[in-house]
Structures are given as structure tokens and as C-alpha cells.
């Protein structure tokens, strides 16, 4: 059995545990997002950055990404970044 469960957990049980521990894990989550951003930038993974900035709602990140995508000829990523930025 998974730790903290006396029987096989349901999706509802797992989500309850996750929601209870979510605030306590904030520093770890932020660190992981910063590491992910650094890795995506280093790899020049513009699609990954689009996903990350869209999920975070980072208008500044999306603006920077739009410029980088246009300079690199990645028009699909630039379009996605502008669309998300406008809707957000």
C-alpha cells in the first residue's frame, strides 16, 4: 500500500492528500519551476517555455518568448505566446 493509506486509494483519496500538502510544498514547487525554466532556456526549447509560461500565467515570460520565437523563425510558438498573452 502507498504510505498514508490503509487500503488501495481512490483518485479522490489521492487528490485530498495532495491538496492538504500542496501549500507546504510551495518552496519546492517554485524551485522545480525555476530549474525547469533554466533547462528549457538552455536547451532553447521554445515550445516547452510556451507550456511553462502559459501554465504559470507569466505575461513577462510570454512577451520575451514572443520576441525570441519571432527572431528564431518559430512563428507557431510566437503565435501561441501572443494568443495566450491576449487571452490572459
Instruction: Give domain status of residue 6, yes or no.
Output: no
Q: How many CB atoms lie within 10 A of CB 67?
A: 11
What pLDDT is attached to residue 2? 55
Instruction: Give domain status of residue 4, yes or no.
Output: no
pLDDT over threshold 90, residue 17: no
Whole-model pTM over 0.75: no
Instruction: Give domain status of residue 2, yes or no.
Output: no
Give the DSSP letter string of 2-63: -TT-SSPPPHHHHHHHHHHHTGGGHHHHHHHHHHHHHHHHHTT-HHHHHHHHHHHT-HHHHH
Instruction: Give domain status of residue 31, yes or no.
Output: yes
Residue 3's pLDDT band (cuts 50, 70, 90): low
pLDDT tens track for 60-82: 999 999 999 999 999 999 999 99
Domain of residue 71, residue span: 11-87
Residue 7's pLDDT band (cuts 50, 70, 90): low
Domains identified in the chain, total number: 1
Amino acid at each position: 500500500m502507498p504510505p498514508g493509506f490503509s487500503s488501495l486509494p481512490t483518485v479522490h483519496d489521492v487528490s485530498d492528500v495532495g491538496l492538504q500538502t500542496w501549500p507546504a510544498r510551495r518552496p519546492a514547487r517554485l524551485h522545480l519551476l525555476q530549474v525547469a525554466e533554466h533547462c528549457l532556456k538552455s536547451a532553447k526549447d521554445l515550445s516547452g517555455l510556451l507550456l511553462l509560461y502559459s501554465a504559470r500565467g507569466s505575461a513577462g515570460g510570454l512577451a520575451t518568448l514572443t520576441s525570441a520565437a519571432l527572431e528564431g523563425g518559430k512563428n507557431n510558438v510566437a503565435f501561441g505566446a501572443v494568443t495566450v498573452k491576449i487571452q490572459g
